[in-house]
Amino acid sequence: MTQDWIVSGKVRAREEGGAVVIMIDGLTTQAKYYKPLVYEFMRKEWRSRPSYGDYVVEIVMEHVGDPPLMDLDNLAKALLDAIKGYLFHDDAQVARLLVERSEGERERITIRVFPRQSASGPG
């Protein structure tokens, strides 16, 4: 089942077939910008409780034109810190982490989080 988007500023999120999808509009070269942005969204808008078990986290940074000069490992750390305590209890629960940069139609970051059940994800 897919929920409607919960939207606040540049961040929106919803549940899609067992996964939580978070989208952040726009890009900056400062990875540290995303931690408070997503953390505040999760704190104020997200209603589910964190769970135990292993998780898969997929992060895709889409850019238009030349990619911004940003270390993807720093981006992943900032985003994991922001969602920790809301989707899972500790980032040690992340059993698989995919972080990629790709050219897209708009500048945004998409985070997809789901329990590790199979190689192809939920649903």
- Give pLDDT, residue 122: 52
- Give pLDDT, residue 19: 96
Residues 6+ apart with CB under 8 A from 53: 88, 93, 115, 116
Per-residue pLDDT tens digits for 50-103: 999 999 999 999 999 988 888 999 999 999 999 999 999 999 999 999 999 999
Q: In a 10 Å sphere around its CB, with 0-12 CB exposed, 13-18 middle and 19+ buried, how is residue 14 labelled?
A: middle
User: How large a percentage of the chain has pLDDT more than 70?
Assistant: 94
Pairing type for strands 11-16 and 19-25 reads antiparallel
Tell me which residue has tokens 């919803």. Answer: 14
pTM of structure? 0.91
Question: How many CB atoms neighbour CB 37 within 10 A?
Answer: 20
Length of the chain counted residue by residue: 123
Are 35 and 92 contacting, i.e. CB atoms less than 8 angstroms apart?
A: no
Q: Tell me the two tokens of residue 1.
A: 């089942």
Instruction: Calculate mean pLDDT across residues 104-117.
Output: 95
- Give pLDDT, residue 118: 53
